[in-house]
Amino acid sequence: MELLGESAVLYWGDERIAIPKLKHGVLFLMSGYIGSQINGCEYKIHLDYLRGRIVNEGVIGGLQEHAKQLGVDEDGLGLELGWNPVIVNRGDEGVYFFNSKMRNWIGYADFSRRFIQEVSLVMVRRDVPILGLPDLVINLNNKPMYIVELKTTNNPANLKVVRGREALQAESYFHMMSYLGLNPRGVAVIKVVRGSEFRVIDNIDVIIKYLEGGEDFVRLARHAVIHKINVRGFNDFLKDVDYSLDYWLGLRNPRPSPSKGLCSNCEHRRYCPYSVVR
């Protein structure tokens, strides 16, 4: 990806794609946005870009737990405690982030390895690049078979619940891999309590066993649960992608979804006109 003045160009195979102007100056979407726009509060994303978002100790703790669980370094872009502007997909930082993630593009992956952490997926829809960063891909017989998204929490009661936006984020990875012709067999969300002794990459055989079994929800350890994600057809997913893109392309306004659960955890609740929790 290259920035030319205020617009950007994606070089994709032999193609040169002029990325259309997107809301808030973003250059590409993170695939997780689709889940948040459809099943969370889209207006929160709108405010995140207008006002910034809070990085708290929970966010830093989540990154540290991811690093431990996956055996990787977590390099949050500009993450300091407090309010941070969203720069991951805007301006020079956005281009740097996208291009650095492309060094781990799944097309370069070695599927003879047991698993691959933090590989990058790309899909282009209506000339907009969409970047997906699944936590783990498990390979079998030299092919990518299972995708695992890791979610960490401080509250054991949260282990049993996969939110709609988390499920759609995981589902997006499945469809993005299928779009690239890689046809995975399944996708799951693993939820772990931060600080637990369970470690994902030390339990790959157990995870495969449950992914190949019939149950949708299995406890892997006292503080770790795996949830299989139900994957819809590709066209249903594309409808969600297009609905999300309509906002970024400026074709419709952001949709608020106020609720006690969402607003009470939202840093914008005090001034958001739709908030139900002040």
Residues that bind ligand SF4 (CB under 6 A): 41, 43-44, 47, 256, 258, 262-263, 266, 268-269, 272, 274-275
The backbone torsions φ and ψ at residue 83, rounded to the nearest 5 degrees and listed phi first, read -70, 130
Q: Which is nearer to ligand SF4, 41 or 148 (CB)?
A: 41
Residue given tokens 């282990």 in the structure block: 159
The residue type of 227 is H
Q: Which is nearer to ligand SF4, 150 or 266 (CB)?
A: 266
Rounded CA separation 116/105 (Å): 11
| Contact by Cβ (8 Å): 243, 39 | no
Cα atoms found within 13 Å of the Cα of residue 92, Cβ hemisphere only: 1
How many of the other CB atoms lie within 10 Å of CB of 56?
Answer: 12
**Least gap, CB of 45 to ligand SF4 (angstroms):** 8
**Least gap, CB of 38 to ligand SF4 (angstroms):** 14
| Contact by Cβ (8 Å): 188, 174 | no
Q: Which is nearer to ligand SF4, 165 or 175 (CB)?
A: 165
Q: Which is nearer to ligand SF4, 228 or 268 (CB)?
A: 268
> Which residues are paired to 2 by β-bridges?
9
**Least gap, CB of 248 to ligand SF4 (angstroms):** 17
**Least gap, CB of 267 to ligand SF4 (angstroms):** 8
Q: Which is nearer to ligand SF4, 129 or 258 (CB)?
A: 258
> Which residues are paired to 8 by β-bridges?
3, 19
Helix (H) or strand (E) holding 17: strand 15-19
**Least gap, CB of 26 to ligand SF4 (angstroms):** 18
